Amino acid sequence: MVAVTEMTNWAVDLIDVHKTYPRNIQALRGVNIQVGRGEIFGLLGPNGAGKTTLVKIMMTVVRPTRALGTILGRPIGHRGKLAATGYLPENHRFPGYLTGAQVLDHYAALAKVPRALRRKRAPELLEQVGMTKWSDTRVDKYSKGMLQRLGIAQALMNDPELIVLDEPTDGLDPVGRRDVRALLLNLRDQGKTIFLNSHLLSELEMVCDRVAILVNGLVARQGTLSELTEHTVETRITFCGDTASVEGDLKKIGVKLDGSMATVGGYSPEKVNKVIDVLRKEGLTIESVQPHRFSLEDILVEAMGHVPGADGRAGAKQV
């Protein structure tokens, strides 16, 4: 069931998305995600969290059991808005009998891009993804990385407002990944909205404005990277000397002691100063004081422990 909510200014506004597959396998259990216009949004989560199902629901490849919300201000599946969306699925395959240029022309025609525009855009995009010299080669001769580049070009042929990319850097070498990151940032600067689904957290960290962490069919965390990391800062203080002499005092302050490293949880300069005072009082040598921001990986692992039904194992929930 897909219902319409009131018109919003979000590029993607998904509300209460459920998907139950046959044999009562719950892939999504009420997902709410909002993506602002002109931002790069990252969707991450462990395998089997429901990320690809969610992307496929957005692109009408999978039918939701229940879904409210809009994409580009219209209900999910609105044909006009699908024409304004570019999509690169995970592990995509193009017909091997087509050349790179023919792939772009064929899929753009299906996206209702006028012929004249197709002829103009295809060489430009092939140039942009570094595939110009392979444009007349059959796709079945392409490597995985070349297919990925072509797939990205295909997703951009209709000059979309919203670009949905599922594992866009899969199969690319480091230079290719850097090129894709640069392309994404360039597209954002042009005002495009980009919805990224990737398991490469470091990639997401480098380009995303906001992220959502999907665990076991539910959104565990959602926000900007700084919002997600501000409450999870810790400070690690390493020292040398007799640990036993300070153990009692440090525990009183509420500091975690691991060998010769004291960890102060959260953002608390006062606590850090108190720890330094205790260490100095006992004549211990302080080697380093390092504030430590959690990476996306730390947040993901932490989020997995907070979702009902997430027992640390990946996979859709069967009820």
Q: Which residues are near another protein by CB under 8 A? A: 21, 56, 59-63, 79-80, 82-83, 85, 87, 89-98, 102, 106-107, 109-112, 114-115, 154
Beta bridge partners of 291: 235
In whole angstroms, the minimum distance from the beta carbon of 206 to another protein comes to 26
Contact criterion met (CB below 8 Å) for 129 and 147: no
**161 CA to centre of own chain:** 18
* Residue (62 or 261) nearer to another protein, CB: 62
CB of 106 or CB of 236, closer to another protein: 106
Q: Given the complex with another protein, which of 87 and 134 has the nearer CB atom?
A: 87
Give me the least distance between CB of 199 and another protein, in Å please. 17
- Strands, sheet with 234-240, edge to edge from the N-terminal-most edge strand: 256-258, 261-265, 234-240, 285-292
Least separation in angstroms between residue 151's CB and another protein is 8
Ramachandran region, residue 205 (left: φ > 0; alpha: ψ -120 to 50; beta: rest):
alpha
**Toward another protein, which CB reaches closer, 56 or 210?**
56
Residue 34 C-beta: closest distance to another protein, Å: 21
Q: Which is nearer to another protein, 102 or 245 (CB)?
A: 102
Give me the least distance between CB of 125 and another protein, in Å please: 15
Q: 153: closest CA among 215, 88, 205?
A: 88
Q: How far apart are the first and last CA of the chain?
A: 20
CB 45 within 8 A of CB 299: no
CB of 96 to another protein, least distance (A): 8
Contact 234, 65 (CB under 8 A): no
The answer to whether the CB of 96 falls within 8 A of the CB of 139 is yes
- Report in angstroms how near the CB of residue 144 gets to another protein at its nearest: 12
Q: Which is nearer to another protein, 113 or 213 (CB)?
A: 113
- Residue among 139 and 278 whose Cβ is closer to another protein: 139
Residue (80 or 259) nearer to another protein, CB:
80
Closest distance between another protein and the C-beta of residue 61, in Å? 5
State which residue, 94 or 142, has the beta carbon closest to another protein.
94
Q: How far is the CB of 46 from another protein (least distance, A)?
A: 20
